[in-house]
Chains A and B, each alone.
Chain A
Amino acid sequence: DAGITQSPRHKVTETGTPVTLRCHQTENHRYMYWYRQDPGHGLRLIHYSYGVKDTDKGEVSDGYSVSRSKTEDFLLTLESATSSQTSVYFCAISPRISGGGQETQYFGPGTRLLVL
């Protein structure tokens, strides 16, 4: 258990409404990520963070914004949700690498978002 929680786990919303997804970690890791997963596309990076208030865009960032005001929380906001943003959203963290350890990312349980 990498200590990652996501909320909400499921959400149904309407086109044009703002939506915020939350990722919370308990381990104080520096790097955090937001991905979306769609059939046929695998996981695609939306935004990532390399520290408090330090964020950058990923491959599919249009229509999304993020904020990280505390080490433990990384928020993903859909400013005005569209049907094309219906997806499963995963948060991930990348722990500090200790001697002889492997670099990796650990994923949260996901948020299923349906935009009607």
Chain B
Amino acid sequence: EDQVTQSPEALRLQEGESSSLNCSYTVSGLRGLFWYRQDPGKGPEFLFTLYSAGEEKEKERLKATLTKKESFLHITAPKPEDSATYLCAVRTGSARQLTFGSGTQLTVLP
């Protein structure tokens, strides 16, 4: 059974304090790993798709990396507006179904 585990569940950082969020996965043949950002009361917002080990993608202060067993979302010099829940998901079916982790709630303090 495909599984996605995210850690930590919650993370509090000071503004400018860089850190990483972890997403470990167990799937039979990875066909895509996805990162989303979700603000309270809103739908998830797409950030990145990664397909193969060694792949990296960047967007502003965020950088996603992928290994054969896990993915990391690195946040460099975060700002309070980066506060959100970050969700990781893997593609699990021929109709592009996704299996999500429970998310990491990030709070960046000014």
Contacts and interface: CB of A to CB of B under 8 A. Distances in A.
B95 to A, nearest CB: 5
Q: Across the A-B interface, give the 3 residue pairs with the lowest CB-CB distance, nearest first.
A: A107-B43, A102-B49, A43-B100
Contacts of B96: 31, 94, 103, 105
B91 A90 contact: no
A24 to B, nearest CB: 14
Given A40-B102, A103-B91, A109 B97 contact: no
Residue from B36, B87, B95, B100 having most chain A Cβ neighbours under 10 A: B95
A109 B42 contact: yes
Interface in B74-110: 87, 89, 91, 95-103
B72 interface: no
B103 A104 contact: no
A107 B44 contact: yes
Given A41-B102, A42-B103, A43-B87, A106 B97 contact: no
Given A45-B98, A103-B96, A108 B87 contact: no
Interface of B: 32, 34, 36, 41-46, 48-49, 87, 89, 91, 95-103
A42 B46 contact: no
Interface in A76-114: 90, 92, 94, 102-110
A107 B46 CA distance: 8
A50 B32 CA distance: 18
Given A90-B44, A107-B44, A110-B43, A42 B34 contact: no
A106 B74 CA distance: 23
A35 B87 CA distance: 14
